[in-house]
Structure 1
């Protein structure tokens, strides 16, 4: 899939992201994925490798990403049940200091407070935030109050991208680009140009796909992407790892109808 994305002009690919089932991988598998994607991308696209788990493992993954030629790392939000500001700052600092690569924070909960973002942004190699909390006032406050020069990215894909752009985002991450790249690129160009009527017209075409991904409190996020890739013959199987699961027959049929509406499938 890194070939598919790079050949279609994707500027940055993210091995070991959530759509890549990062938390279902062993540490060794995560390293293998990063090594493979870095080699295949061959600098045609930037490779931003996902790292996470406990701080020591995340540091190990960061060092590995740097050693195999990745261009940056994305730090997943820790899955520890107890998160405190000082602990989160320490967690991010340890990882950032383990590598010379640029670091992108992946924020999925408001437990990563504005205070945490402000302090972590002072680290010299922290360059951006993938913000995946669909609370626009919090996002806007963060963009406006963090003085360091960060790149702010909508982390909840096409469904929320227009609203995050209005609040200060400069880009958005996409799982859909593993399936179809035309509409995500058109949406990005329209948003960058401030052409919101055009952006919302494109947005309307991708909403059914993204809403299906968001079903069950985002439980379908990966399953929909893999099912669409499978139906298009881009991958050999639609298998996913627990605790996520395959789509229902009705949902698989809906994926097919969406693909046909895009002209991606006959």
Structure 2
């Protein structure tokens, strides 16, 4: 895997895929099936893998955490950047930091938290994590105002932030005072749109963000890379055409659960056997899986 420090060029070179983590029938992490997922994404041109919510890193035991890090670091190609998540609880992330010291990941991402938290306290936790690892951190802002723009800027100015994943849901993505406040103070090339392919055009065109993350792009990686290149080229008409192709699966994820729908879609698309969904989540019903299969076929037909 790529162990070089992140730069704005690294951020922009690829969509950030946020894949599922495959398990065997007994619930243990599967090396063979995770390798299939990684190869599929890499063959589609994506060179950054972010293991967080879709991989259900929230619920890994500390022993599983080490196993997961071993798998993804060993299976990724030489030029693939791999970013694992930590947290979201402070004690969890600090224990995970001890495990991470045995690996060469250039950065990690703190999973989003909004309970039992203040902005300045969150900033202090990120500082202590960065100091313990000796590396900058990917800050994940998923909830409106969970960290003030001033606290986020202070972390960036002190060299503690490698990137910011911005994923606050809006009815109208062109109207976002929180994002506007962040981009007025922080280099926009350090901020990624963190809500998949749907708001990527608005976030990159109107707010000048440096890139975007993708869940559905783990199933259709080349399509997601095509979207990134179209946006970067300023061809927003082509970008909109590509964005609409993702809608059948994206709408299912939005309405029925982004993590579990992607977990099962990865298997139903024939990419890998992803195995059982981890508790505290639940398996999509058979009728929902039929809709997932139909959405995959619809996207496949649209791309030829």
Q: Is the 8 A contact 2:89 2:113 kept in 1?
A: yes
Asked if 1:114 corresponds to 2:154, the answer is no
Displacement of 1:36 in angstroms is 1.0
Matches within 5 A, 1:187-202: 187-202=227-242
Which residue among 123, 129, 133 is the counterpart of 1:89? 123
Which residue among 231, 244, 253 is the counterpart of 1:213? 253
Matches within 5 A, 1:23-62: 23-62=58-97
Displacement of 1:155 in angstroms is 0.7
Asked if 1:155 corresponds to 2:194, the answer is yes
SS at match of 2:109: strand
CA spacing shift, 1:105–1:237, aligned 2, 3 Å: closer
SS at match of 2:278: coil
Asked if 1:100 corresponds to 2:134, the answer is yes
Displacement of 1:101 in angstroms is 2.8
Across the aligned residues of Structure 1 and Structure 2, the Cα RMSD in angstroms comes to 2.3
Whole-angstrom distance in 1 between the partners of 2:131 and 2:188:
19
Q: State the TM-score, normalizing by the size of structure 1.
A: 0.89
Q: For 1:107-139, what per-residue CA distance to the aligned partner results, in whole angstroms no more than 9, with x for missing partners?
A: 111222212212222232312100111243311
Whole-angstrom distance in 1 between the partners of 2:240 and 2:189:
26
Q: For 1:66-125, what per-residue CA distance to the aligned partner results, in whole angstroms no more than 9, with x for missing partners?
A: 42222321111235x221122111111011111233321011112222122122222323
Aligned to 2:178: 138
CA spacing shift, 1:162–1:242, aligned 2, 3 Å: same
Whole-angstrom distance in 2 between the partners of 1:90 and 1:31:
25
Structure 2 unaligned spans of 5+:
1-36, 171-175
The ranges of structure 1 where at least 4 consecutive aligned residues each deviate by more than 6 angstroms after the TM superposition are: none
Structure 1 unaligned spans of 5+:
none
CA spacing shift, 1:150–1:159, aligned 2, 3 Å: closer
Aligned length: 260
Asked if 1:128 corresponds to 2:163, the answer is yes
Displacement of 1:203 in angstroms is 0.9
Q: Is the 8 A contact 1:238 1:246 kept in 2?
A: no
Q: RCO greater where, 1 or 2, for CA within 8 Å and sep 6 or more? A: 2
CA spacing shift, 1:65–1:6, aligned 2, 3 Å: farther
Choose 251-260 or 184-193, whichever is displaced more: 251-260
Q: Is the 8 A contact 2:248 2:299 kept in 1?
A: no
Which residue among 30, 49, 52 is the counterpart of 1:13? 49
